[in-house]
Amino acid sequence: MISVLARWPNLDRPLSKHHEFVTSISLRVLQSWEENGIAETHFSPGMNYGARENKFIDNHATSLGNMHDDKGNFYYISHPPFAYLLPYACFQMVGAKASVLNLQIFHLLINLLSVIFIVLIVRKIDTDPKVALFSGIIYLFLPATLWFQSNTYMSDMLVHVFFLIGILLFLKLKDSTSLLLSALFLLNLCVMTYTSWLGVFFTCIVCCWAIFKMSGAIRFTIILTSVVGCASALGITYIQYGSIAGYDVFLDQLFDRLALRGSNSSDNSGGVIVSKTKEIGYLIFNYAVHYWYLFLLVLSAIIMGRRKKLPNFLDKHKSFILVSTLPIIVLHLALLNYSTHDFTVLYSSAFFSIIGAVSLLYIFKKKQTGYLMIVIALGCIHYYVINLPGETSIKGIKYSESMDLGQTIASQLETEEVGFILEEKLDPMVIHYAHRNIKTVQSEGEAEIWLNDFNFLRGRLFYYKGGVLHSKQIQSKHGN
């Protein structure tokens, strides 16, 4: 509850910055299901609102432009769909609508589950309950978890809790196999992979560990459950997304997205070496920004001469270290451009919170709680610096900027008018607050042709003149 209070000033704030665009995309999917019907959209992440004037407009859904159904719904298939299915099911069960605050509350419950599994992981590998307690508290007040398990929500964030469950189940399963543990491990890997591609990398590392470090029934059980769980999720995703516009279209779009995430999509002008160097630099910077004080804590453990304790912990718990870090390292290497998004550092929060707790407890023999309070304070201060409470960001930008623009567009668009904007690409948060899909065109003539091609009578063209947003109604060339 204290960690929720720390976030309180930023909850239900207008979506605006620091990757809150992913929350707006998730909300659009959930609201699309509410309006279109989830079965009508193949139980898949549709990105078009329900009314007919929102159809056949691709806002932030596809890179190739062909991942759509015959009803005019475009689909976002960069990840499997479970991160949208789970909150949708929860909202339907309690009768709640998909809103910014409701999605943030749902994510805070995921944060609660995550810290519970952090504690359970530590209790599995260390008999000292204080290590578990300190690990859980440090985890809750990391800048990454304060923000990325609250204000931002997407597949990239939800998969983290299944990653933690997978670590715990693996640590239990490698010591003693049982039918229940095996079934839970298989089910969790299926759900994890059905949420995000981190499940695939986790499966690869777990199978490699089993092949090289295990033998007999345990090796067979872990490999079998891992492969079946991961393959089942991939198969379901393939059938589900392939049913939208055809399997070839789905695979073309998927491979295009993965290729984009594996390369530098923003600037390849300097060549591969330069672009990869930039990406690695961004990645290192993101880790330094989010975990710098924990790096200092571990470094202090070495400098202060108590080296044996921490290396002994690392050596004793190699399986935990490897299974909690190697899937992330492989993901970073395979999807380096994607890894420049700083929400990917959330995956490492389990490792850093536990190592940070061990370091703190081994360095300071007295007043450990006081030093823990310092760590908590540093995390909260850092969180507030990045996500300044109030009406404007630390750069002086109004948080309500996207909301104001979206609501302005919504207030001027009439029913059955198609929304167009001249030469601008609206960000996902503007689309969310407008609650309308808006098509970018290069001229008024292009908008008129589009209306004619899709049998719409009229639209409204938004354009900037002198820095001020204006609009005018336009007619189809064959409209009345």
Q: What does the pLDDT look like over 275-331, one tens digit per residue?
A: 888 889 999 999 998 999 888 887 877 676 555 566 666 667 788 989 999 999 999
Nearest partner of 225 among 244, 246, 247, 199, judged by Cα: 199
Can you tell me the mean pLDDT for 322-348?
A: 93
DSSP classification of residue 29: H
**C-alpha distance from residue 6 to each of 19, 54, 150, 381, 389 (Å):** 19, 38, 11, 10, 11
The model's pLDDT over 16-38, given as tens digits with 9 standing for 90+, comes to 988 899 999 999 999 999 999 99
Answer yes or no: is pLDDT of 480 > 50: no
Nearest partner of 160 among 125, 110, 95, judged by Cα: 110
**C-alpha distance from residue 323 to each of 32, 174, 227 (Å):** 37, 12, 16
Q: How far apart are CA 460 and CA 472, in angstroms?
A: 6
Q: How far apart are CA 420 and CA 232, in angstroms?
A: 42
Three-point CA angle 187, 193, 198, nearest 5°? 130
The mean-pLDDT minimum among 153-167, 207-221, 295-309 falls in 295-309
Q: What is the pLDDT of residue 268?
A: 55
Answer yes or no: is pLDDT of 105 > 60: yes
Nearest partner of 197 among 167, 171, 234, judged by Cα: 234
Question: Given pLDDT bands bounded at 50, 70 and 90, which one contains residue 265?
Answer: low
Determine phi and psi for 74, rounding to 5 degrees: -90, 155
279 and 339 in contact (C-beta within 8 Å)?
yes
The mean-pLDDT minimum among 111-115, 160-164, 211-215, 402-406 falls in 211-215
Mean pLDDT of the chain: 91
Q: How far apart are CA 259 and CA 249, in angstroms?
A: 15
Question: Given pLDDT bands bounded at 50, 70 and 90, which one contains residue 201?
Answer: very high
Determine phi and psi for 179, rounding to 5 degrees: -60, -40
Q: How far apart are CA 232 and CA 237, in angstroms?
A: 9
Question: Given pLDDT bands bounded at 50, 70 and 90, which one contains residue 86?
Answer: very high
Q: What is the pLDDT of residue 195?
A: 98
Can you tell me the mean pLDDT for 324-342?
A: 93
- 458 forms bridges with which residues in the sheet? 475
Three-point CA angle 441, 447, 452, nearest 5°? 145
Q: What is the pLDDT of residue 12?
A: 94
pTM of the model: 0.94
Three-point CA angle 448, 453, 455, nearest 5°? 90
Q: What is the pLDDT of residue 270?
A: 63
